[in-house]
């Protein structure tokens, strides 16, 4: 089944259950101080859940462009290294605003998966919220449990903790217990060795969560307490690319027709083959993933820049450039060339990718030129540092200068040094970094504008990437 049909069948199924099909909200959020990017389908409906405004229809379905690189939901470090977390992905969803609740949500989800998509029910595991003993003092979700027991044998029902089975959009906002649906796509041989039950929520690439049914009944307030919402709602989110993997009989999201055109194009422009080495594979996946995040963001009007959301986008793109540079030997701009393929692949569903194609290409190409120049200069400077080194130890101070003054990524420095058999004085580097942080903290107090924002993005919003480039863990 083509991805296009997977998406359509989802929407048509819920249309047949009296839902109206609505459009995805933009991925880039301009007017919410708590959120830079849409991280779930429910974001655009937040005000309905809170009871602050009235929906036109009480049942709605859509596919939503999401980006999970900052805040509470940050998957960036996984992306490329695993085969099922993306930065940008589509979340298929159905909603009830004070209309139906758990019974219909559970029954329809099951009907769609097993009768429409014809997934073998024996491969599906479902979870229910077990309750919590912390300040929230929440009960086991017996209602969901009883509903599931009527359709799924108990050995495939899992009791989940707050981390997995209580969904929250951010530190504040609508939230509630949830039931997740997981699928085991391993071979029979593997299944005989270990029960799928053991592997649910255990980061196994072939036992993955596909759908989350959230039973919205609380609002998390700024002081951390929960209050009951004025009405109860359904919020579901299914990972479109994961569903395609399942229905297309693949083992990785990157083997579905959502990604294969991009992977083939990367092969064509880099003259490398996907599947030959693990490092190159990761680079392929990072690039195929990140070009989507960046292009969708630009098409939404958010260009890479030095502050706020633009800075997040710039760093995603730089991560892709760096993986290409390091593992696929790409020394010339090439990521911009993938935009045409992406636009052909998904432009029917998201026309902004067609209308903004040229802009996306131009912006990405300029960014590539500029960052590749940084990388080139940095390499020459690093060469000098190596030549001047006494013995095999490289001064952390020098590496810091390269990072701080020339913008050369420290993890790349560490990697190159390691490959060449040199040792970086990490302690000294960390000390220099700390000094700089103290300096910039002092400077922030007297400087306004970009710098302030840049600082706050690094501190709060973009924690994952900081570990790679800015907090600087030298891994
Ligand atoms: P996981 O546990 O796999 O990280 P999650 O519990 O964080 O997923 P939810 O917040 O419940 O995910 O989102 C709903 C659905 O969206 C998930 O069931 C999954 O199918 C999909 N999804 C979540 N994060 C990603 C991602 N980074 N890339 C692709 N799909 C995702
Ligand atoms: Mg997650
Ligand atoms: Mg989960
Ligand atoms: Mg989930």
Evaluate: CB of 41 within 6 angstroms of ligand 1.
Answer: no
Range of the domain at 397: 389-475
pLDDT class of 170 with cuts at 50, 70, 90 = confident
Which one of 216, 248, 280 terminates a domain? Answer: 248
Residue 180 CA to ligand 4 center (angstroms) comes to 6
Domain total of the chain:
2
Q: Taking residues 230-242, what's their average pLDDT?
A: 96
CA distance 292 to 65: 10
Tokens read off for 99: 């209309």
Residue 84 CA to ligand 1 center (angstroms) comes to 9
13 domain residue, yes or no: yes
Closest ligand 1 atom to Cα of 243: 20
Which one of 197, 225, 248 terminates a domain? Answer: 248
Evaluate: CB of 297 within 6 angstroms of ligand 1.
Answer: no
pLDDT in tens, 58-115: 999 999 999 999 888 899 989 999 999 999 999 999 999 999 999 999 999 999 999 9
172 domain residue, yes or no: yes
DSSP 256: S
Evaluate: CB of 292 within 6 angstroms of ligand 1.
Answer: no
pLDDT in tens, 401-454: 999 988 888 888 988 898 889 999 999 999 999 998 888 777 655 433 222 223
Higher pLDDT among residues 306 and 83, named by residue:
83
307 domain residue, yes or no: no
204 domain residue, yes or no: yes
**Are residues 69 and 218 both part of a single domain?**
yes
| pLDDT (0 to 100) of residue 444 | 53
CB 3 within 8 A of CB 257: yes
Evaluate: CB of 244 within 6 angstroms of ligand 1.
Answer: no
Ligand 1, atom 1: closest residue by C-alpha: 209
- Indicate if the pLDDT at residue 307 is higher than 90: no
Evaluate: CB of 212 within 6 angstroms of ligand 1.
Answer: yes
| pLDDT (0 to 100) of residue 72 | 82
Residue 169 CA to ligand 4 center (angstroms) comes to 11
Closest ligand 1 atom to Cα of 180: 18
- Does this complex have an ipTM over 0.85? yes
The runs of H, that is alpha helices, within 125-187 are 142-149, 162-165
The runs of H, that is alpha helices, within 257-356 are 260-270, 278-299, 308-327, 338-346, 352-355
Single out the residue of 345, 342, 320, 343 nearest to residue 270, CA to CA. 320
280 domain residue, yes or no: no
pLDDT in tens, 69-78: 988 889 998 9
406 domain residue, yes or no: yes
CATH of the domain at 71: 3.30.930.10
| pLDDT (0 to 100) of residue 409 | 86
Return mean pLDDT, the chain.
91
pLDDT class of 197 with cuts at 50, 70, 90 = very high
Evaluate: CB of 89 within 6 angstroms of ligand 1.
Answer: yes
367 domain residue, yes or no: no
| pLDDT (0 to 100) of residue 189 | 97
pLDDT in tens, 119-146: 999 999 999 999 999 999 999 999 999 9
Single out the residue of 378, 98, 104, 40 nearest to residue 240, CA to CA. 40
| pLDDT (0 to 100) of residue 473 | 41
pLDDT in tens, 325-349: 999 999 999 999 999 999 999 999 9
CA distance 455 to 450: 8
Question: Which ligand gives the minimal distance to the CA of 164?
Answer: 3
pLDDT class of 270 with cuts at 50, 70, 90 = very high
| pLDDT (0 to 100) of residue 466 | 32
| pLDDT (0 to 100) of residue 171 | 85
Residue 195 buriedness (CB in 10 A; 0-12 / 13-18 / 19+):
middle
Which one of 248, 276, 293 terminates a domain? Answer: 248
Evaluate: CB of 237 within 6 angstroms of ligand 1.
Answer: yes
Evaluate: CB of 91 within 6 angstroms of ligand 1.
Answer: yes
| pLDDT (0 to 100) of residue 233 | 97
143 domain residue, yes or no: yes
């Amino acid at each position: 089944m083509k991805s296009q049909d997977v998406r359509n069948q989802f929407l048509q199924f819920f249309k047949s259950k009296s839902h109206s099909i609505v459009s995805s909200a933009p991925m880039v959020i301009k007017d919410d101080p708590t959120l830079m990017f849409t991280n779930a389908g429910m974001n655009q409906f937040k005000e309905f859940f809170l009871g602050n405004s009235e929906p036109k229809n009480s049942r709605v379905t859509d596919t939503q462009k999401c980006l999970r690189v900052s805040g509470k939901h940050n998957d960036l470090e996984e992306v490329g290294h695993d085969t099922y977390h993306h930065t940008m992905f589509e979340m298929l969803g159905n909603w009830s605003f004070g209309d139906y609740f758990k019974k219909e949500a559970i029954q329809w989800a099951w009907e769609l998966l097993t009768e429409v998509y014809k997934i073998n029910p024996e491969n599906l595991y479902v979870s229910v919220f077990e309750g919590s003993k912390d300040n929230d003092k929440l009960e086991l979700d017996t209602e969901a449990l009883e509903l599931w027991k009527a359709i799924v044998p108990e050995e495939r029902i899992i009791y989940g903790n707050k981390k997995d089975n209580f969904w929250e959009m951010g530190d504040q906002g609508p939230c509630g217990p949830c039931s997740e649906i997981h699928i085991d796509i391993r071979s029979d041989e593997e299944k005989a060795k270990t029960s799928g039950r053991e592997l649910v929520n255990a980061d196994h690439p072939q036992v993955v969560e596909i759908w989350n049914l959230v039973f919205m009944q609380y609002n998390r307030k700024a002081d951390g307490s929960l209050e009951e919402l004025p009405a109860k709602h359904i919020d579901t989110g299914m990972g479109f690319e994961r569903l395609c993997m399942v229905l297309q009989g693949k083992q990785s999201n990157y083997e579905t027709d959502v990604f294969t055109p991009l992977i083939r194009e990367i092969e064509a422009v880099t003259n490398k083959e996907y599947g030959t080495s693990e490092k190159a594979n990761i680079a392929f996946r990072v690039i195929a993933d990140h070009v989507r995040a960046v292009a969708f963001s630009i098409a939404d009007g958010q260009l890479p820049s030095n502050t706020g959301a633009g800075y997040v986008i710039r760093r995603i793109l730089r991560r892709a450039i760096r993986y290409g540079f390091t593992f696929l030997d790409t020394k010339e701009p090439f990521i911009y060339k993938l935009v045409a393929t992406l636009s052909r692949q998904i432009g029917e569903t998201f026309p902004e990718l067609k209308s903004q194609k040229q802009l996306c290409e131009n912006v990405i190409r300029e960014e590539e030129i500029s960052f590749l120049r940084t990388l080139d200069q940095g390499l020459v400077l690093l060469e000098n540092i190596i030549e001047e080194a006494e013995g095999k130890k490289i001064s952390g101070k020098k590496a810091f200068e390269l990072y701080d003054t020339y913008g050369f990524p420290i993890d790349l420095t560490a990697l190159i040094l390691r490959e060449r058999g040199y040792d970086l004085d990490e302690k000294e580097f960390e000390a220099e970094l700390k000094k700089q942080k103290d300096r910039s903290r002092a400077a922030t107090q007297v400087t306004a504008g970009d710098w302030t924002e840049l600082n706050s993005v690094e501190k709060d919003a973009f924690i994952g990437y900081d570990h790679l480039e800015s907090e600087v863990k030298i891994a």
